[in-house]
Chains A and B, each alone.
Chain A
Amino acid sequence: MLDISQLSFERNDKPIFAGINFTLNTGEVLQVVGPNGAGKTTLLRVLCGLLTPSAGEIRWQGQGIHEHWYDYVDGMIYCSHQPALKQGLTVLENLRLYRGVLRGRFGDIRSINKAMQRVGLAGYENTLVQSLSAGQKRRVILAILLLAKTQLWLLDEPLTALDQAGVKLTETLIAEFVAKGGMVIFTSHQPIDIKSNTVFLGVLN
């Protein structure tokens, strides 16, 4: 459970957002919408702990995230709007980077192959990420999401650059993840089609 109370953030004494309250329970999805510059990305960066809020509290399973940092980062994965991949490494090497370096718990080699097939990248294992298209890089991130054994996904604009099939796949993956008790917060301008009555809309302005 992610519990946010009176969350505010200001940059150079200029408030970006203030007084945000919400609670996300297992199996729930929150879509953050708002015009460009409303602070969606900043909100996500505060939620993942990269930025410290100027006021308010974020509690994960009842504990403050900055006090219980390792419990939080072990249970959460944040995906920035630019896919965080090493251009000079192949897809498989990037997955190894996430498996060995960036994540505590991650799928084994066999599940890596399965995830690659699921996201439609089978056969691209040894391709350098720099020669993939923007949409394919997104799909590598989807594979990482499938493999990272976390309970919370924080996704910044996960649908950009994806084709229709890719958007559909993302929706399916999110639906499957929350059905298994996961939680998702994502930002997007597109309405997302998830057959679930636990999708909430948060408006920033």
Chain B
Amino acid sequence: MDLYRLFITTLRLEALLIYRHYSQVLNPLLFYAMTISLFPLGLSPQPQLLHAVAPGVLWIVALLSILLSLHPLFEGDFADGTLEQLLLSPQPLSIIILAKLLAHWLLSVFPLILLALLFAPLLHLPLAAMGTLFASLLLGTPVLLLIGAIGKALTLGIRNSSLLVMLLVLPFYIPVLILGAGSVALAGTGLAVTGELAWLGAMLVLALPLAPLAIAAALRVGIN
């Protein structure tokens, strides 16, 4: 019960902070909307062509947007000294981290999923694949965020670390991308996607308890 209250308090305060500085979160969302809408203009408005690239494009741009949204993670806590207080807290750090990441996901990544659904018809994604697009992003984006947060925690305090974070985490993003985009492409052709979604789910189940532990350890090392 105590851990539940700790989780809820952290989630509420973190969400409040993100909400009060929403412009920071808005940039990756704008990037998503702009990039997706440039594809029909830059490639060609032909439905067959767009139809073929849509699953990949929707997923790749989502992945890049998440990479862009990693920057503010822990950065504020590091700058104002509350990160030190977190490390000196008698409360379990991984629960606090999980709550912070959930707040981040709800306010900056979930809107991205809604944008993907909104812009999918622009790329002529078949209606049959919409459900899979939603499900695969719902399962895949938390994994991307959790992995990205490990990279961000490892590079905290290093100046101009954005590029370093990207290099660090990109290799680990590839399996998620392949499964995610693959499942949407399969769904478009009417094939079963349970296998891909199950793999994404398995990754999420693995990352959810393990990534916060890794992040906590990385933050402890980083402050030294």
Contact call A102/B91, Cβ cutoff below 8 A: yes
B86 adjacent to A101 (CB under 8 Å): yes
- Contact between A70 and B81, CB atoms less than 8 A apart: no
Of B16-24, B29-37, B174-182, the stretch lying at the interface with chain A is B16-24
User: Is there contact, CB below 8 Å, between A89 and B96?
Assistant: no
A79-106 interface code vs B (CB 8 A; 1 in, 0 out): 0101111111100010011101111100
B90 and A74: CB pair below 8 A?
yes
Given A50-B87, A70-B90, A102-B91: A85 and B224 interface contact (C-beta under 8 Å):
no
| Cross-chain contact of B88 among A73, A85, A88, A96 (Cβ < 8 A) | A73
Q: A52 on the interface (CB 8 Å rule)?
A: yes
Chain B residue nearest to A82 in the complex (CB): B81
Contacts of A76 on B, CB cut-off 8 Å? 88
Q: Which residues of B contact A49 (CB under 8 A)?
A: 88
B81 to chain A, nearest CB (A): 3
In terms of DSSP, what is the predominant structure of the interface of chain B? helix
Known A70-B90, A88-B17: A101·B10 in contact at CB below 8 Å: yes
**How close is B102's CB to chain A, nearest CB, in angstroms?**
14
> How many angstroms between the C-alpha atoms of A78 and B88 in the bound complex?
8
Question: Known pairs A78-B84, A96-B9, A96-B13. 11 more at Cβ < 8 A?
Answer: A48-B88, A73-B89, A78-B88, A80-B81, A82-B80, A84-B82, A86-B13, A89-B13, A97-B9, A98-B85, A101-B13
B residues with CB within 8 A of A: 5-6, 9-10, 13, 16-17, 20-21, 76, 80-82, 84-91, 96, 223-224
Report the 10 A-B pairs with minimum CB-CB distance, sorted nearest first. A100-B9, A84-B81, A104-B90, A74-B90, A102-B85, A102-B89, A88-B20, A80-B81, A73-B90, A88-B17
